[in-house]
Structure 1
Amino acid sequence: MYINEQDNHLEVYTFVFVLFQKVLEQLCQERHKFGVKSELFDGLKKGTTVVEFSSPNIAKKFHAGHLRSTIIGNFIANLKESLGNNVIRVNYLGDWGMQFGLLGAGFQLFGCQEKLKKNPLQHLFDVYVQVNKEAENNEVIGQAAREFFRRLEQQEHQALLLWKQFREITVEEYQQVYKRLGVHFDIYSGESFHQQQAQEVVQQLQRRGLLKTTEKGTGVVDLSSAGDMSSYSTVLRSDGTSLYITRDLAAAIDRKERYNFDEMIYVTDKSQGIHFQQLFQILLAMGHSWAERCQHVPFGLVQGMKTRLGEVVFLEDVLDEARARMLRNMSQSKTTKEMVYPEDTAEKVGISALIVQDFKGPLGSDYKFDWDRILQAQGDTGVFLQYTHARLCSLIHRYGDGEEGAFDPSLLLDQRSISILQHLLRLRLFGGVCTVLANGMKILGITPVEKM
């Protein structure tokens, strides 16, 4: 290796024998960790990382934005974990706020316990849509919603019982969907966990002289550099109830005290950029220097995600559609192998197609959802990744991966042995490529299939 002074660039030379020897030695030593374990990572700073992602709103539809947050957040968590970090995966549910006042009031008017048990998410969603529609032209419903939320904030028993029922059945339903996606969380948290702590945050803001009261009676924090209220964040309603950002402040402070994280990452769509900018500013103003190690990872929106039946309501609709379309494509392909559980394979391949499509473009850009393009068997698609992995598994299963017995790379210099050694080397290469591909897919959140 030397620097070419004429062109001012670095030139690297290597001996083929040395390259073969080093790569093969590493492949033999690391086996299934080959490709993710490297000396290059030894110098990286490791610590505790909190990743907040997915975070759907209870009783609202699990829309495409939550799917993106789930996919991207899971990838970030997997990547951080593969680099040796202690990762804490948090699902911060939207389980508090005025929308629950509306839902509580709506359920008392239009709800049915029998329908709730039979199809919980659908019934809660139907009630929420109906009460929203009624509230547009009926101020009485708006007043009932505010009253129900006030009862929640004051820990009124009957209101809390209904809220807990909504939350528990919704989380159970979501966990089934996450299981299909191959995603897990260490903690299911939510705004409700921090509604009392939010009042403590308000008191801290007041003690520090950061809280100001407007003419309307709302509590705000001045974020302007000149102190002229040209930029501010509202943290308290005029009736004294907390807001989303107030509970987010309490949640961030609680996580630092509880986990002593080195960094915290929030994964949401780009529309929440200002919210997180204000969140970090307020934390710093409160004296929490660790807020500098918090970051927001924004992403663009998915447009046109529909099933054959129309608009997508729940994430489960998307997964069912991906499985059905993939199963149909597999049944029409001449190369499809016989499988014991074809639906299981179709689901894994369909989900991998959704994941790869999500990562293909710039993270912050919106993209138009197209089923035909996503499920293509060729090109940079999840389907082709799975096919490549399955093909390699088939070759290894049939011929082995060249791992049995000792292998001496120096024999590659012997012309009499070179032909068979090249075949053995190719088999070992297949094994190495299969391992690297599988490990990379797992970091992306894809479950590799061995037959398709």
Structure 2
Amino acid sequence: MACFLRRSVAAKLSRTLRQPEDAFISALSAVPVSKKQQSSDFRLSVNTLRLNGIIPASGDLQLETEALANELKQDSVVEEISAGHGVINFKVHRQLLVQKMLEPFEEGYDKFGLRSELLKSLKKGTTLVEFSSPNIAKKFHAGHLRSTIIGNFIANLKQCLGNSVIRMNYLGDWGMQFGLLGAGFNQFGCQEKLKENPLQHLFDVYVQVNREAENNEEIWTAARAFFQKLEQHEGPAMSLWKQFRDITVNEYKQVYQRLGIHFDVYSGESFHQEQAHEVVQRLQDQGLLKITEKGTSAVDLSPAGDMSSCCTVLRSDGTSLYITRDIAAAIDRKEQYHFDEMIYVTDKSQEHHFHQLFQVLPAMGYSWAGRCQHVPFGLVRGMNTRSGEVVFLEDVLDEARARMLQNMSQSKTTKEMDCPEDTAEKVGISALIVQDFRGPLESDYKFDWDRMLQARGDTGVFLQYTHARLCSLMRRNNGVAAGGFDPSLLLEERSIAILQHLLRYDEVLYQSAKDLQPKHLVHFLLRLCHLVASAHKELPVKGSPDEVAQARLRLFRGACSVLASGMRILGIIPVDKM
């Protein structure tokens, strides 16, 4: 196993430098596979040892690197040790590398890399992830796609690393926009149309009332009055609001089902409306609340105490705000779920909002606010179909499926399958996810249908194609005996390259857990697919002697297992045929 090899090298360093093995686990890294011939498998940064206080930070770094490399001796695990620029390189005995890396795949093992010492150093516990969070009474806008798939990735990652994960959809189901919608529905709405096409009709009403409100103050007066009725829980207003909410959640669930995403909790701002007023009272009791000249209630966040930076928590008419309900929600979640960390996934325009939230909570005495985190993301530009600009996510999913189905029908390699539409849907969604995840989350990116759906480029289609190809290879060679294998039959450069790459899997998951960026895993899986494609050409299974075929099949089975595992963490459902 990869963890055995890393631990063995760490043990060698531990004996030489007389430090605990764990001190070297994070300083050791697997060497990335390059196009040039690669010899070493692990490298140790001597500068990291200096920074961690394991060796004195004095003298010439290169001289110290060479001296330490000369102290270390070869053994039954490491066959070659050499000094590079500030690093020491370790090359594992080739047969041992093959044996240990492929041992886990004897019986369809799917936990490869997840039990490494590196990952054990990560804190475990209960993680609450709030993501997607669309506004009710509106169709699922394509802009919510990023929050949905990013949040799902984070939840999947945390879960596979051993955390107990709570997936929460915090719906935008309260606030002045519902005052506006309620007033608009009373004026322009129709229950019959609501039954026929509920979200489309609510969307039309919302557009119409906003247009009318631009030059009509009476609309705003009616909207404020409707929202006050909601805050006071008046029957007719609450009944209409509940109807809007139920309709919306039912439609959202259909979209989530298409994406292969589930939630443990459907919450919303409305759940914390009364608690929001309790928060205001608590702030007042703690002497943190100040009344502004405009009559609003605010918390002073300025270092000088001059209100130059403040957080408004109550309007002059006594109604709560989004931030007030978020403060109440955070407190309630801590009491209810006892989370060890809470992660909010929203676009970067809300960074100021969360900056204020994470200031108000500690001011109220909640030290656990330091374990709350906002993961911001950029905008998607140019997401349009053949018919024009896309507004709704369903349009995007339909378009991705249709284009993928067309590509599959024109491909000579497409296999016969029971439900090509379902395969096209899964592959289309994987293409969406990989295009989104290839760069830093904070960056905006330009949506490109043609590039996204290429089978040979660095795309989700390429991941699915490689997985399906490996599944096909295993189906075609089902008669090849399983069980033990001879490691000496997998010493070709292409075999070793795949195994060296798999050595990095736990490091990639570790880095992903540290910064919650999916790009590390995406690039790892894409590189794995390229290595598999090269090996597939040069290491045929069919027509090879039985022992060779058996060994190569074990190699490809291992690559397929890790590929599928990584895809699932990203939120991609692997397909067996395409």
Q: TM-score, normalised by structure 2?
A: 0.75
Paired with 1:280 and 1:9, the residues of 2 have a C-alpha distance of 40
Number of equivalent positions: 448
Query: 1:288-343 CA distances to partner (integer Å, 9 max, x unpaired)?
Result: 00000001000000011112222222111110111011111111111111111010
| 8 Å CA contact retained: 1:401, 1:430 | no
Deviation of the 1:20 alpha carbon: 1.8
The reply to whether residue 160 of structure 1 matches residue 238 of structure 2 is: yes
| 8 Å CA contact retained: 1:402, 1:425 | no
1:189 aligns to what SS in structure 2? strand
CA 1:294–1:258: 2 relative to 1, 3 Å: same
The reply to whether residue 20 of structure 1 matches residue 98 of structure 2 is: yes
Deviation of the 1:29 alpha carbon: 5.9
| 8 Å CA contact retained: 2:106, 2:483 | no
| 8 Å CA contact retained: 1:403, 1:428 | no
Structure 1, unaligned runs of 5 or more: none
CA 1:288–1:403: 2 relative to 1, 3 Å: farther
Paired with 2:383 and 2:164, the residues of 1 have a C-alpha distance of 35
1:31 aligns to what SS in structure 2? coil
| Match among 176, 192, 205 for residue 283 of structure 2 | 205
Query: Counterpart in 2 of 1:431?
Result: 557
| Match among 224, 240, 251 for residue 173 of structure 1 | 251
Query: Counterpart in 2 of 1:240?
Result: 318
Q: How does 1:189-268 map to 2 (within 5 A)?
A: 189-268=267-346
Q: How does 1:8-87 map to 2 (within 5 A)?
A: 8-28=86-106, 31-87=109-165
Query: Counterpart in 1 of 2:29?
Result: none
1:13 aligns to what SS in structure 2? strand
Deviates more, 1:121-130 or 1:29-38: 29-38
Paired with 2:490 and 2:322, the residues of 1 have a C-alpha distance of 66
Deviation of the 1:232 alpha carbon: 0.7
Deviation of the 1:45 alpha carbon: 1.8
1:12 aligns to what SS in structure 2? strand
| 8 Å CA contact retained: 1:400, 1:427 | no
CA 1:343–1:37: 2 relative to 1, 3 Å: farther
CA 1:8–1:325: 2 relative to 1, 3 Å: closer
Alignment-mate amino acid for residue 421 of structure 2: E
CA 1:409–1:361: 2 relative to 1, 3 Å: closer
| 8 Å CA contact retained: 2:486, 2:547 | no
Query: 1:197-237 CA distances to partner (integer Å, 9 max, x unpaired)?
Result: 00000001101111100111101111001101111111100
Deviation of the 1:380 alpha carbon: 1.1
Deviates more, 1:55-64 or 1:178-187: 55-64
Structure 2, unaligned runs of 5 or more: 1-8, 14-64, 68-82, 492-543
The reply to whether residue 332 of structure 1 matches residue 410 of structure 2 is: yes
1:95 aligns to what SS in structure 2? coil
| Match among 270, 273, 280 for residue 358 of structure 2 | 280
Paired with 1:428 and 1:127, the residues of 2 have a C-alpha distance of 60
The reply to whether residue 383 of structure 1 matches residue 509 of structure 2 is: no
Paired with 1:9 and 1:55, the residues of 2 have a C-alpha distance of 46
| 8 Å CA contact retained: 2:131, 2:148 | yes
Alignment-mate amino acid for residue 229 of structure 1: M
Q: How does 1:401-420 map to 2 (within 5 A)?
A: 404-409=482-487, 420=546
Alignment-mate amino acid for residue 303 of structure 1: R
| 8 Å CA contact retained: 1:101, 1:148 | yes
1:51 aligns to what SS in structure 2? strand
CA 1:319–1:401: 2 relative to 1, 3 Å: farther
2:91 aligns to what SS in structure 1? coil
Query: 1:371-421 CA distances to partner (integer Å, 9 max, x unpaired)?
Result: 1111111121000100000000000000039662443547889xxxx9643
Paired with 2:546 and 2:421, the residues of 1 have a C-alpha distance of 40
Deviates more, 1:136-145 or 1:150-159: 136-145
The reply to whether residue 373 of structure 1 matches residue 451 of structure 2 is: yes
